[in-house]
Structure 1
């Protein structure tokens, strides 16, 4: 893995949300669930994707109004990595701080 992932509280929160998700989820939902701003969440999702810990795709089946959503999910490698770091589906208590 060539991407450096510093284990910050924000990264831990994002990983916990993704661990808890039972299906693909979009970045704004991760932001809302973690209490982190989108300016923190989207760069983390991008880094996780470059590290092959997260996979993403455009939601082309969406029929509702508004722009398409980018859907994110942990890969098997990402799930194993997050769990090896002792993470579960419970975000840290420092939510809302970047």
Structure 2
């Protein structure tokens, strides 16, 4: 499993949506959960699979009309890494918010 080289907000949202699902989920549900466009979500899902975080398969529900759905789910290692990454980024965001709240204006003129 390769590390994610560039962790963006949309990537974290896709990871979070997959973690929240009860099992394999299809891309449109991830799009709805994140509020991100398909052109953002599907490339992230593809990268996650290429890096070994997820695997996908085609839904073979013959009773359902319409195009087949591609189902995405974490690998065992991918699920662990995703939970750690989402948790760590959430902790960092909360720490940054607390730190940002501690800065107070001094009302002193800026020295030139």
Q: By the TM > 0.5 criterion, same fold?
A: yes
Segments of 5+ residues of structure 2 without an aligned counterpart are 91-112
CA-based RMSD: 2.1
Higher helix share: 2
CA distance in 2 between partners of 1:7 and 1:61 (Å): 34
CA distance in 2 between partners of 1:2 and 1:23 (Å): 22
Q: With a CA cutoff of 8 Å and minimum separation of 6, indicate the structure with the bigger relative contact order.
A: 1
Secondary structure class of the residue paired with 1:13: helix
Number of paired residues? 89
CA distance in 1 between partners of 2:85 and 2:4 (Å): 15
Partner of 2:63: 63
Segments of 5+ residues of structure 1 without an aligned counterpart are 91-98
Runs (4+) off by over 3 Å = 1-5
| TM-score, normalising length: structure 1 | 0.81
Look at both structures and tell me which one has the larger radius of gyration over its CA atoms: 2
Spell out, residue by residue over 1:45-75, the C-alpha distance to the aligned partner (whole angstroms, 9 max, x if none). Answer: 0000001101100001242111000000111
